[in-house]
Amino acid sequence: MMNPNFSSKSQYHQPQAQTTTSQNVIANKVAGTLLQQMHIEQFVLENLNEHRKWLLGKAVSVGHMLSWTKDPITKPMIRTNNKSVKKEASEVFKLIQVYMGDRKSKEPLAQIALEIAVRGWISVEMRDEIYIQLCRQTTKNPREDSAVQGWELLGICLAFFPPSCKFYSYLEGHICKNVEAYNQIDKAQSLTYIYTLCCQKRLQWVVNCGAKKGLKKPSLEEIDHAKKSMVEQSMFGCTLSEVMNLQKERYPESSLPWIQTMLSEEVLRLNGAATEGIFRIPGDIDEVNSLKVRCDRWLPPPSNLHDPHVPASLLKLWYRELQEPLIPYAFHQQCIDSFADPDASMAVISSLPEINRSVITYLIRFLQVFCRPENVQCTKMDVNNLAMVMAPNCLRCLSSDPRVIFDNTRKEMAFIRNLLLHLDTSSFADFI
């Protein structure tokens, strides 16, 4: 007798569907690669400077200009009328060669990286020139150790400044091509492969977030942090699961991220609950950057920190930079649908994965402290204001339609307001 659950149609069509899906993935990948190559060729055609050989004065081929060289350059790789870029381009190329071990120097590598990063951070016009020089020196490099250093330097630069919109596709194509190349030749555990993956991630991050904020130039401490975090994962920009995995040896019993509880407690310790504009007024960005570096090293805030806006700003940044939002994308529509119904809003929280549910409940417990009338009188931040400033750190709309984003923003704020007013957070009474 035939099994009633057996379907000859599904048996023979399912593999075909899988094959079709696989073919589509391959086709899309090939199309993406071709598109990237078109962007690269178009950029080269429109922007690459003409270089000539010294002795005979013959034009250097494009292929040679975009491949590693042991020789210095005498003018920028990208056409420009900027006199400063024309002067600095050859200097930066020598610095890149020094960092990669292709030119001798007694200066510490960290200082070399700092000088390059500062030049790119200060001068918007220098950024693409720095990046195309790094692309060149990491293409067809005959020495693996030199290539590793080149990718490391590229990753450091991406921690401080983005490429221009015009150069973005070129840089993205260069990185993606190398990610695939190192993966295909079975070097998935090599440092170069790890660095290319990090560069891919950092490129997306820096394009979305922009150059390093603040008035202070990049520091040696920040250079060191940018370098180390290419291998040692940062607590910023990852998933909640990854954060918990990072701290499992230091805080094996904790059910919450250390960085979340530490920064929350610091805000309260500095009397943030009685500070006007808390969570609305940003902390000094240079102090926030410095505190971020300390947190990634598992260090507590410095004893000379007195402004609660600093840990408050970093706490918001940590929530905002989570790889997947605090309330996952899969639950976003439920939040939007339940904005006018407090009971439905509570039901959404109950259905979240355990770690997300715990972290959001702790956050709401923390914010409910600021909702108390005696604190609102000092902070001028009532439940509506708190919902407005915190909603973007908890929820993210996937739509790019401005009308949808505008409409959802109002509903997201109402959803967070429901949580502040109605969520039972007594399970975290011992924490706050």
Return the exposure string of 368-378: e unless at least 16 CB atoms fall within 10 Å of the residue's CB, then b: bebbeeebbee
Q: Indicate whether 223 pLDDT > 50.
A: yes
Cα distance between residue 418 and residue 391, in whole Å = 11
Domain endpoint, select from 228, 262, 278: 228
Q: Are residues 307 and 370 part of one domain?
A: yes
- C-alpha torsion angle, residues 140, 146, 149, 153 (rounded to 10): -50
The stretch 258-265 carries a mean pLDDT of 98
CATH of residue 358: 1.10.555.10
Q: Give the whole-angstrom CA distance, residue 376 versus residue 49.
A: 60
Whether residue 183 sits in one domain with residue 119: yes
Q: How far is CA 404 from the centre of its chain?
A: 25
Q: Are 227 and 296 in contact (CB under 8 A)?
A: no
- Beta carbons of 324 and 276 less than 8 angstroms apart: no
Q: Could you tell me if 264 and 215 lie in one domain?
A: no
Residue 272 and residue 215 share a domain: no
274-324 pLDDT, tens digit per residue, is: 999 999 999 999 999 999 999 999 999 999 999 999 999 999 999 999 989
pLDDT at 131 over 80: yes
Q: Indicate whether 425 pLDDT > 50.
A: yes
Tokens of 125: 């016009």
**Domain presence at residue 24:** no
Residues 376 and 410 in one domain: yes
Chain segment 365-386, per-residue pLDDT in tens: 999 999 999 999 999 999 999 9
Predicted confidence (pLDDT) per residue in 166-218, tens digit: 999 999 999 999 998 887 765 546 889 999 999 999 999 899 888 998 888 99
| CA gap 245, 160 in Å, rounded | 27
78 beta partners: 48
pLDDT average, residue stretch 118-135:
97
| 298 and 202 belong to one structural domain | no
Judged by DSSP in three states, 125 sits in helix
The residue to which tokens 């696989």 are assigned: 22
Q: Examine the pLDDT at 11 and tell me if it is beyond 50.
A: no
- The upper half-sphere exposure of residue 57, i.e. CA atoms within 13 Å in the direction of its Cβ, equals 0
Q: How confident is the model at residue 53 (pLDDT cuts 50, 70, 90)?
A: low
Provide the percentage of residues in the chain whose pLDDT is more than 70. Answer: 86
Asked if 158 and 117 touch (Cβ cutoff 8 Å), the reply is no
Token pair in block for residue 7: 């379907």
In the chain, what are the helix, strand and coil shares in percent, each to the nearest 5? 65, 0, 35
Quick check: is 51 in a domain? no
Domain annotation covers residue 198: yes
Q: Domain limits at 394?
A: 253-428
With respect to residue 146, please indicate whether it lies within any of the assigned structural domains.
Answer: yes
How many structural domains comprise the chain? 2
In this structure, the answer to whether residues 95 and 148 fall within a common structural domain is yes
Residue 414's pLDDT band (cuts 50, 70, 90) = very high
Note the pLDDT of residue 39: 61
Count CB neighbours of 98 within 10 A.
Answer: 20
CATH number of the domain at 161, please.
Answer: 1.25.40.530
